[in-house]
């Protein structure tokens, strides 16, 4: 891998384990155009890297990734044609995670919100700190949960629970998420590094071809679900990007107030 091609993701290698850290801590690693572009490239790059047998992704500072960048959301409202590019990139991102041959561990050290939650939940194993906040609050900013949430949440926790959390945009702690099966495990924050490192080490020392092909087999059905859902969910999200409610939500985020939705 050419680590020099990245400016917002930091890398560290420990044997056959590659650690990738989203590095916009001042914005809680919110996904702007540049970071999202780097994350999209990350998984195909890792797939071609013969040295890497396990990938661990996390966020610098207090968050894994706190969702969408407000200025970026406004740019998509102002230039809706950019949303088509965003949809194409979003599809590549989701399939990049699913098709990456090596196991991917999401180390959720803090907030994983919106697209941040989607990225984490598409990973093979998700280990979170007990205090971490996990949510897909697209509806709270007047958007459809189109970037993968509508596909992955029902697969992990069933339709009844998934609808509750996606339609309300409510937040779960890492501990709550583990209890309902949304993530693999939650641990005290001070144990997160050790637990993830031990797990990554076990995977890295295992039979890599057997592990990779098992991942591929398990993901066959998941890829079918993703393919059947994301075309429509992204299209609905593009429509919701044009609504007055979404613009009101973006204005409210800037003004640090609650939005007033009118259903328009």
Q: Is the pLDDT of residue 102 over 90?
A: yes
Q: What is the H or E stretch that residue 245 is in?
A: helix 244-255
Read off φ and ψ for residue 61, nearest 5 degrees. 80, -135
Q: Is the pLDDT of residue 123 over 80?
A: yes
Q: Tell me what the mean pLDDT of segment 127-142 comes to.
A: 97
- Split at pLDDT 50, 70, 90, the class of 144 is very high
Tokens of 9: 């993701």
**pLDDT (tens digit per residue) in 8-45:** 999 999 999 999 999 999 999 998 889 999 999 999 99
Q: Is the pLDDT of residue 241 over 80?
A: yes
Q: Which CATH superfamily is domain 3-204 in?
A: 2-enoyl-CoA Hydratase; Chain A, domain 1 (3.90.226.10)
**Selection from 188, 189, 173 nearest residue 134 by Cα:** 173
Q: Is the pLDDT of residue 1 over 90?
A: no
**pLDDT (tens digit per residue) in 42-79:** 999 999 999 999 999 999 999 999 977 888 899 999 99
Place of tokens 């803090």: 110
**pLDDT (tens digit per residue) in 160-174:** 999 999 999 999 999
Q: Tell me what the mean pLDDT of segment 204-211 comes to.
A: 98
**pLDDT at residue 119 in the model:** 97
Greatest Cα pair distance, the chain, in angstroms, is: 56
Q: What is the H or E stretch that residue 9 is in?
A: strand 9-14
Give the span between the Cα atoms of 163 and 148, in whole angstroms. 14
Check residue 3 and report its DSSP letter: G
- Split at pLDDT 50, 70, 90, the class of 103 is very high
Q: What is the H or E stretch that residue 96 is in?
A: helix 81-99
Q: Which of helix, strand or coil describes residue 150? A: helix
**pLDDT at residue 154 in the model:** 98
Distance between start and end Cα atoms, the chain: 47
Give the span between the Cα atoms of 226 and 188, in whole angstroms. 32
Mean pLDDT of the chain: 96
- Split at pLDDT 50, 70, 90, the class of 138 is very high
Give me the residues paired with residue 94 across strands.
none
Q: Domain boundaries in the chain? A: 3-204
Altogether, the residues listed in the chain come to a count of 264
Q: Tell me what the mean pLDDT of segment 251-260 comes to.
A: 95
């Amino acid at each position: 891998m050419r680590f020099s091609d990245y400016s917002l993701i930091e890398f560290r290698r420990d044997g056959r384990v590659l650690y990738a850290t989203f590095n916009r801590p001042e914005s809680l690693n919110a996904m702007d155009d540049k970071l999202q572009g780097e994350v999209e490239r990350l998984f195909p790059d890792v797939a071609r890297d013969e040295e890497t047998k396990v990938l661990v992704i996390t966020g610098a500072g207090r968050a894994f990734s706190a969702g969408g960048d407000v200025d970026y959301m406004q740019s998509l409202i102002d230039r809706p044609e950019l949303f088509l590019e965003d949809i194409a990139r979003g599809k590549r991102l989701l399939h990049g995670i699913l098709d990456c041959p090596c196991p991917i561990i999401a180390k959720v050290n803090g907030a994983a919100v919106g697209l941040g939650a989607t990225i984490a939940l598409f990973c093979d194993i998700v280990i979170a700190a007990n205090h971490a906040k996990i949510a897909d609050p697209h509806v709270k900013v007047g958007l459809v949960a189109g970037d993968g949430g509508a596909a992955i949440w029902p697969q992990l926790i069933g339709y009844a629970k998934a609808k509750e959390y996606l339609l309300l945009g409510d937040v779960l702690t890492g501990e709550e998420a583990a209890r309902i099966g949304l993530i693999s495990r939650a641990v005290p924050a001070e144990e997160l590094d050790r637990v993830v490192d031990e797990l990554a080490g076990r995977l890295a020392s295992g039979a890599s071809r057997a592990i990779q092909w098992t991942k591929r087999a398990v993901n066959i059905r998941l890829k079918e679900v993703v393919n059947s859902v994301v075309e429509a969910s992204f299209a609905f999200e593009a429509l919701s990007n044009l609504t007055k409610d979404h613009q009101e939500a973006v204005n409210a985020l800037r003004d640090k107030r609650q939005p007033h939705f009118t259903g328009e």
